[in-house]
Amino acid sequence: MPELQLLRLDHAQALLAFEQENRAYFAASIPDRGDDYFAHFDVRHHDLLAEQAAGQHFFHVLVDGSGAVHGRVNLVDVADGSAALGYRIAEKSAGQGLATAAVREICGRAAAEYGLTALRAATTLDNAGSRAVLSRTGFVPIGEIRLSGRPGLRFVRNLREAPEPGSAE
């Protein structure tokens, strides 16, 4: 199973390959990153590492033994003891439990290593897989939203409490 690693400079090439290989797959359920993201990937990668070093965000990649990236799990907009959770798993790795395992692990790290007390997340209503991952990992829906014009749900997870009954953590 791939290992969850804090994003580093040497992940750049594998991360770019992951994003390029899965661009159409991701765009089917979340907004596309756009051509500019790929054209200026190296600059963006350095910027993300600087923001991470400043404690604004914690970016992670799921990396196998060969160095290939199978997913991303990020905590962004860290402030006041909370952060927003975002994740994406490669098409070839989907349906193997990687997202659930990675979100469980990031919840533990968020509390133990980053000192966070709550995580927020959001997904569209038509992204059943993402909603299932959030439910299985103790996130509870707190309201409806629109994401890129599509109906969605906001979720929260209090990291100081045990997961909600019915979550498989």
Question: Please, what is the angle between helix 41-53 and helix 12-21, to 10°?
Answer: 120
Give the pLDDT mean for 111-131. 95
Q: Where are the domains of the chain?
A: 3-158
Residue carrying structure tokens 């990291």: 159
59-103 confidence digits (pLDDT tens): 999 999 999 999 999 999 999 999 999 999 999 999 999 999 999
pLDDT beyond 90 at 21? yes
- CA 53 to chain CA mean position, Å: 18
27-47 confidence digits (pLDDT tens): 887 777 888 999 999 999 999
- In the chain, what's the furthest Cα-to-Cα distance? 45
In this prediction, residue 68 carries a pLDDT of 97
Domain covering 3-158: architecture: 3-Layer(aba) Sandwich (3.40)
∠ Cα 35 40 42 (to 5°) = 135
pLDDT beyond 80 at 152? yes
Rounded to whole angstroms, the Cα distance separating 133 from 139 reads 9
Percent above pLDDT 90 for the chain = 83
Sign of the CA dihedral running 65, 71, 56, 131: negative
Rounded to whole angstroms, the Cα distance separating 22 from 16 reads 10
pLDDT-derived band at 163, boundaries 50, 70, 90: low
Question: Mean pLDDT score of the chain, rounded to an integer?
Answer: 93
Give the pLDDT mean for 97-115. 97
pLDDT-derived band at 4, boundaries 50, 70, 90: very high
**β-strand partners of 119:** 83, 157
Buried b (16+ CB within 10 A) or exposed e, 57-84: bbbbbbbeeeebbbbbbbbbebeeebbb
pLDDT-derived band at 148, boundaries 50, 70, 90: confident
Which has more pLDDT, 107 or 126?
A: 107
Rg (CA), the chain: 15
In DSSP notation, 3-27 reads EEEE--GGGHHHHHHHHHHTHHHHH
**β-strand partners of 69:** 63
Task: Indicate the Cα dihedral angle 48, 83, 155, 107, nearest 10°.
Answer: 90
In this prediction, residue 82 carries a pLDDT of 98
pLDDT beyond 70 at 165? no
